[in-house]
Chains A and B, each alone.
Chain A
Amino acid sequence: MYKLMLMSAILLLGACARVDYVQLGDIDQSQGQLTPISVKVSQFAIEMAAVAEVGRHVATNSAARSQSQEIRDLLALINMGPRTGNPVFDDTYAENILDQLYQQCPSGNITGIRNIREAKTYGPVSGEIVRIDAFCIQSGN
């Protein structure tokens, strides 16, 4: 029980943000007034192997500890590959970001695009985020 409380406290205190990638495009301030727009999509992510590892540390008897280790190893085998942050269960969550940008700026006259890949993390659980910040040019024509 003490171990579980300690692990929970560590996980809660360890909540933080992570940035993986930022890219800034051209900024055109000559065509008109710039209105900030932003599109953010996110997906729940969990590192199951890390959860099994936590279970191994929390387990009180050696049999449960051994089981957790077996599960952790199995999950590592079935989820091989490069990763940015924790794995998600749906990789289509950022596919309609273009539509969302156009909804906020129907003229399509957009400048100062910042492409950001980031996450909010809570130990083995995270929200994997793709965010596009930009300016919509209000030309007044």
Chain B
Amino acid sequence: MLTAKRIDTFNIKSIYASLSLPEVSKLIIVNSHNDVLVYHKNQDIFKHLQTYPNLIKHLHTDESRIYDLKYSHSISTIFAQCDKTIILLNSSNLSQYDYIFEKRGIEQTWVFNIRHTHTTDDYKTILLYSTKTKPTLRALIWEGTTYKKMIDVPLFHKSEKALSALAIQEGILISTKHGIYLWKHDVDKLIKIDKITKRTAPDDMMVALNNFKNICEKESQGNNPRDIVSNKSISSKASEYTFNKSRPSSQTFRKVSGYFWQQQKFRHDHSNDNIRYIFKPSEKENPIIFDFISRNILELHTGDDNQHFLVFSDCNCFNSLNEDYFSVKHIDLNVVLLYNEHSVKFIEYEQGFPFLNMTVDDEIKDILLLEGPYFVMITKSDDVHLYHYQVDDSFEQHILVKEFDFNTNKDKELNQLWRNVLFYKYFLSSTYSLDICVSSDPEHSLDLCAMKLRDLTVVLCLRVFERYQYYLKSIEYNEDVIEKSYNIQRIIVENIFKLFITYWAPPHLVLLKTLPNVILAYVMDHLKHYDDDIDAEYYSLPDAYTNMVLPKLILHCYVPYLIEIRRHIKNIKISKFEGNVTWKIFGRKINQTIDFFLVDDDEDTSIVDLLTLLDTSLFEIYFNYNKALIGPFLRVENYAKENVVISQLKKNNMFQELIDCYFQSGKHKEALNFLKTLYLSLSSTDEQEIKDGILLLIIGYLRNVPNDFIELIFDYTKWVLDIYHDKESVIILVFMQDTLVSKGRDYQKVYNFIKSFDAELAVSYLEFTISSFQLTNATLQSILIKAYIANLSDAHIRKKFNSLLKSSMIYEPKFVLKILDDSIREGQNMDIDNLNYLQFLKIYPLYKLREDNLSVSIVYNKLHNYAEASKYCLRIYREDMERGQSVILYFLQQILKLPASDINENEDVLYFLKEFGSKLNTKTILKLMPPNTNIKIICDYLLNTIETTSLKVGDSNLERSLLQLELINTTNTLNVIFSENYLIKETDICSVCDKKFPLSSNDSVSLVNIYGKSKIVHTTCAKVIETHNSKSKVNIPKLITVGDYKDGQN
């Protein structure tokens, strides 16, 4: 725990007021002579800097004494509080720059520095004081360093006094003996916060455990609360009442709470009636009211309707505070400082656990907090002591045993753990962690503390869980009670497992201690049974073990823990992390290995062993409580003990999940064999539906088995084909699916396999694979084309063959051409029609090879098919005009190759000229035409050409006219632009001085009116004219500039 060491002491006679300035490490003290002494904390001692003798005498005030000092860093001001005046002193030299006179007298002052936003350094400073003669509060507000305004608000009751105040986002929160008020910014009245409520359920594990304990004790002792407390000490009675407060029934609660309240009042015979301290721990969203008057801890909340209310917390803090205290000061996080005449305490404010406890011989007058782990104690004998507090482990046991009166040893152990956990959390998260750590290597020591906190937290959680189970057992697992107290149980278990997740609790320990026996027995038994390297001890069940947890909680709490821990362990397994993972806790980053997840006696356990334990437990939890997740779990990488999983799934007829498991582990033969055996075991016709279902499972499985197991796939597909009537469907479902698995198959093997059953279907398979997977495999294409050629008489096959060669982009044209040529050569006995069709098909690979002339030659010369040749030429022409014109020209040459006598009877020439005449140059066509060509033949063509040419000429003329018009318009625009400017030539001379105009751009010219004419002159000359005209009263208009001239033109 913490110990405070006195590191400096000095004495000042008759201390009246004191002030700590943590921001500048200064201490200011005022003595009875009104001398102001300034000290600076240098390392571990105070150094006297300066004394301002009888300061008040030198100030502009009639006051005779300074009662208190306050400091605002943002306006560098020290406020000296006197009887009726607050004097504003410059903090650097204590010179007065202003004062505030309050005729009602000043009771107490507070100063708040509020930063506007986190991103700027703009501060708002509020000086708040209460008055003596009237219950009034006054606030003076500065924005930045500028004073802005003053607001007064009256308190509600006569003689009501403010006890504590805190600036919050909405305004200032003020406590008095009569209640809590909020003074909203810019409003001149206080809002009393009347509404006090409490959480429907505690959010703390320990409080929830106590609540659950009370519920169970009440149940087990016949609903007689008196019996519960009858044999307890006074302090334990109080403790019991505290537990009773949080019973879920609000009606009951009201009564009990009132009684409890009176009990508290009755017990409370101290005089801490002036402490209702408001503070805001940095880790909390809301301010806390530490209320000695009602002996409660309250938290300010804001509802959805923006109404404020106080939330009453279950706490044991005041049970341990049986002394009077002068004052409370917030230190850091959840720790507050309390002091009275002879003792100083640092306590965790919610439970009252002491973190520091010191007594002093002198009577304490005041304690001031400094920056860092230091405080200043001022005694009544006017000694000023500087203390430094640090962590000292050796004090742990002593303080705890002395401070707390526990019901049982178990309570003591639990509370001791709890306190230690809270202390180490404070230690690690404190702003001053490094400063309070006594070590030559504080960083390393803090890492060790984090590990210690982890151990303590895990043990605490396990103890809490043990107690939770104990209470459950005490009510003999009464279902009604369990159901009614579900929420409390949820909080206990949920918090335990949240902590297990945060602290990476060792899985073996957690599972052994918390897993319900229905699951753990199974997991352990099976792991022990099936583990090859048997470690019976590792998998042995703890004695007398009867854990029972509600299923909802197991799913809600255990599963995330198991998932999270397996994630960390898997990360360790991943080679890139090199066996390390970083555990982040309270801002620390500590590298951990697999050892972190092991307990001392299982050092031989490997990563896989741990993963097996985790995943098998996870499987069992899913199996028992959420079967829907078994499928997803088994489909992803997992280490669940295979035999355990298979055995469970088989036993429960979960076939789909079973084959998912087989599939994930690559045991395809086992999966298929299992399904086959299952199928064969069913014989009755009544079970046909089930048998069909199993066949579908087999087919579905075969479809997804990777190609490495192709022979296995064939074996089982063959078996299915033997017993199932719709063979085509089976083959399609197994092999012809557009999936990555199908894409990775050995196509030729599959083709051969299918062909052995159905040749036609085998061709379909090739068609499917080639088109779906865009295959360029020559062998497959060859097989497919040969299959087509073998059935060329079939119109449907012809169509497919044509379509394949015409539209497919993936085949190798030379290869296909060779197949076609070979087929034609070898198929001389083939039907002529088929042979011609094969010839025709050659145009598709030729097209890809850009052998257009050859294509046209085949179609036109060999097959005498003008229409197809024309179609081919047009297709080429549309795609590529130049390439098209070349093949069209070739086409014409082939047409004209006919004997000369036939030219005038050749209709192809007429068709050609009609279709392609406009696509070739007329002169080229005419040159190629034989001399004996009848003019009638080309008459229409020529007329069309003339007409087309005329139209083109007309279009060109029209375009020329339009361009000329555009030129005129553009020229006109240019002239207008020119006319707006006057170009001064080198030869131009000024009309006044007869000198040339300078070409330097720095000189200016002006346009002036001389005798009714506009002339360009030097600007200086223009001024001369102007002066001359004004003297001679000649009415020369104002100096005209080029700009004016332009305006005039416009």
Q: Do A and B bind each other?
A: no
Taking Cβ atoms with an 8 Å cutoff, the residues of B that contact A are none
